[in-house]
Structure 1
Amino acid sequence: MLKRLSKIVFFLLLFGYITIGVLLYSFQDRLLYHPTPNIKIDYPQLILQRDGAKVVVHVLNEGHKNAILYFGGNGESMAQSADYIAKQFPEFTCYLMDYRGFGSSTGKPSQEAIFSDALALYDRVKQRHKRISIGGRSLGSGVAVYVASQREVSKLALITPYDSIKDVAQGRYPMYPASLLLKDTYDSLHFVPTIKAKTFIVLAQNDKVIPRKYSQKLIDAFKKEQVKIDIIQNRGHIDISSDERYYKIMQDFIGKG
């Protein structure tokens, strides 16, 4: 009787384990990407036609010789961020890309598509500007790292970054093999060796979404003389940008246009 009961418990646990694993695999896009609504704002748009998708880029402060390309988090609205970013970097033309499926962009987000779109944006605006700096927050830090590894970048700013989404997911779901389940790994660690730009990494002291150890692995991959780190005290992953120091230290790093 006890042996039979043990078998039943084992198979129930196995069934539960497999079921949760299948759900994690099937819904991983929903866990990773949180598309933002389409909000109309009064800024010019640059449209990239990409493999049947329309990728919308909001252009702030047109006409400056130097530019900033900014890639946001997995649920960050570029439309809602636009006014504040425009005011904080008045001497730069800023490009904010809505990922596929976000804002007014069409299509479906994926690492392959976002990486390709980000390079296309860089190549599209390169001839307009003397130098280009790149910023990326959370998910967008992986996009920024990739572009900086493939193109010439003046400055690279990474906010609450990670070594790879695969490692973060593995830490969150330790019972499952993230390397086998994940389609989009955003392996920033892989791209660091080819980055030449001076890099600024901004962390939140109380970040629970991207625990410090994952950011530290990325920091350690850079040459010490290449990277600068600052930690915003008493802030978390979401509210880091509400601290008065946040944009000031970013301005100091990026410099004047």
Structure 2
Amino acid sequence: MRRIFTMIAGTAIITYALACAALFEFQRSLLYYPQPRSKSEGSTLLTLPVGAATVHVSTHPHAGTAALLYFGGNAEDVSRDVPDLVEAFPDRAIYALHYPGYGGSSGSPSEQAIFAESLALFDRVYAEHQDIVVIGRSLGTGAAVWVANQRPVARLVLVTPFDSLGDVAAAQYPFFPVRWLLRDKFESWRYAPQVTAPTRIVVAGADELVPRSSSDRLRTRFHKGVSSYVVVPRVGHNNIQDSAEYWPLLKGD
């Protein structure tokens, strides 16, 4: 009996170890879902060289000092957001970044690549527009906090944000040590304390992906008076934009 139990336990341990190895190996395919770029009316394509990579940015030009940078979610075609962003922010030039592997951008997505290309986009835009609002949604909040920690952002908006990607992964895979397995951690808690731009955090009241506790913790990372926190009731992670409150909150109304 002891031998049988030992064999069963050994098989279970090996199976669990193999599952952990599979999660580690294929984690980026579980995190990133690159989308093709749509042919949205009213937007043009900016091609931005970043090292050996070629980054695509869906844009809507506007003269003046004001601009907006948008960093979307992990399965988002940000070109589709441009018309709504133009309507909500008619006095700003719009720049929506296609992550590596998304929308025709070269390379493969990773935290390092997304951070590098987000900063490169900010620097490119800042050469023409010195009043820059940065909006990040879901995965894009990690990029947005990083940029605001590194550059002179005028205002920061975080939609359905997390304290770290590990919080989201742990909620999705509670029986695995995913915090130790993650390659791309997007630890916004590390960078939020250095952000001085006025920040609005917009949370979905029925978010099924990002734990409320994670968004709550992120709120505490900013220095007092920097951030405001709003919960939009009865909406989920992927349909928060359908709320009548959504665009006024992003605009700062």
Task: Give the alignment's TM-score, normalised by structure 2.
Answer: 0.95
Once residues 142 and 77 of structure 1 are traced to their aligned partners in structure 2, the CA distance between those partners, rounded to angstroms, is 17
Give the counterpart letter for 1:167 in structure 2: D
Answer whether contact 1:160 1:203 (CA < 8 A) is retained.
yes
Q: After the TM superposition, which residues 127-142 of structure 1 pair with which residues of structure 2 at under 5 Å, given as runs? A: 127-142=127-142
Describe the superposition over 1:33-89 as per-residue Cα deviations: whole angstroms up to 9, x where unpaired. Answer: 110123223422221112332100111242232011110000111122121111111
Give the counterpart letter for 2:251 in structure 1: Q
Moved more, 169-178 or 58-67: 169-178
Give the counterpart letter for 2:40 in structure 1: I
Q: Where do 5+ consecutive residues of structure 2 fail to align?
A: none
Aligned to 1:14: 13
Does residue 157 in structure 1 map to residue 157 in structure 2? yes
Aligned to 2:166: 166
Once residues 28 and 51 of structure 1 are traced to their aligned partners in structure 2, the CA distance between those partners, rounded to angstroms, is 25
Look up the SS of the partner of 2:12 in the other structure: helix
Once residues 251 and 71 of structure 1 are traced to their aligned partners in structure 2, the CA distance between those partners, rounded to angstroms, is 16
Moved more, 154-163 or 44-53: 44-53
Does residue 85 in structure 1 map to residue 85 in structure 2? yes
Once residues 243 and 171 of structure 1 are traced to their aligned partners in structure 2, the CA distance between those partners, rounded to angstroms, is 25
Q: Where do 5+ consecutive residues of structure 1 fail to align?
A: none
Give the counterpart letter for 2:18 in structure 1: T
Describe the superposition over 1:114-154 as per-residue Cα deviations: whole angstroms up to 9, x where unpaired. Answer: 10001011111112113111110000000000000000011
Does residue 250 in structure 1 map to residue 247 in structure 2? no
Answer whether contact 1:21 1:176 (CA < 8 A) is retained.
yes
What RMSD over aligned residues (CA atoms) do the two structures have, in Å?
Answer: 1.3
Answer whether contact 2:82 2:94 (CA < 8 A) is retained.
no
Once residues 205 and 63 of structure 1 are traced to their aligned partners in structure 2, the CA distance between those partners, rounded to angstroms, is 37
Once residues 31 and 102 of structure 1 are traced to their aligned partners in structure 2, the CA distance between those partners, rounded to angstroms, is 15
Give the counterpart letter for 1:55 in structure 2: V
Moved more, 145-154 or 44-53: 44-53
Aligned to 1:52: 52
Describe the superposition over 1:7-30 as per-residue Cα deviations: whole angstroms up to 9, x where unpaired. Answer: 121012112101110111111001
Moved more, 66-75 or 48-57: 48-57
Q: How many residues align?
A: 252
Q: After the TM superposition, which residues 192-207 of structure 1 pair with which residues of structure 2 at under 5 Å, given as runs? A: 192-207=192-207
Give the counterpart letter for 2:2 in structure 1: K
Percent identity of equivalent pairs:
36
Answer whether contact 1:100 1:114 (CA < 8 A) is retained.
yes
Once residues 169 and 251 of structure 2 are traced to their aligned partners in structure 1, the CA distance between those partners, rounded to angstroms, is 32
Give the counterpart letter for 1:5 in structure 2: I
Look up the SS of the partner of 1:174 in the other structure: coil
Once residues 171 and 231 of structure 2 are traced to their aligned partners in structure 1, the CA distance between those partners, rounded to angstroms, is 22
Once residues 9 and 83 of structure 2 are traced to their aligned partners in structure 1, the CA distance between those partners, rounded to angstroms, is 56
Aligned to 2:145: 145
Give the counterpart letter for 1:13 in structure 2: A
Once residues 37 and 245 of structure 2 are traced to their aligned partners in structure 1, the CA distance between those partners, rounded to angstroms, is 30
Moved more, 62-71 or 196-205: 62-71
Moved more, 172-181 or 196-205: 172-181
Look up the SS of the partner of 2:83 in the other structure: helix
Aligned to 1:23: 22
Q: Any runs of at least 4 consecutive aligned residues in structure 1 with deviations exceeding 3 A, and if so which?
A: none
Give the counterpart letter for 2:39 in structure 1: K
Answer whether contact 1:61 1:86 (CA < 8 A) is retained.
no
Post-superposition offset of 1:214: 0.5
Moved more, 169-178 or 219-228: 169-178
Post-superposition offset of 1:224: 3.0
Post-superposition offset of 1:175: 3.4
Post-superposition offset of 1:173: 2.6
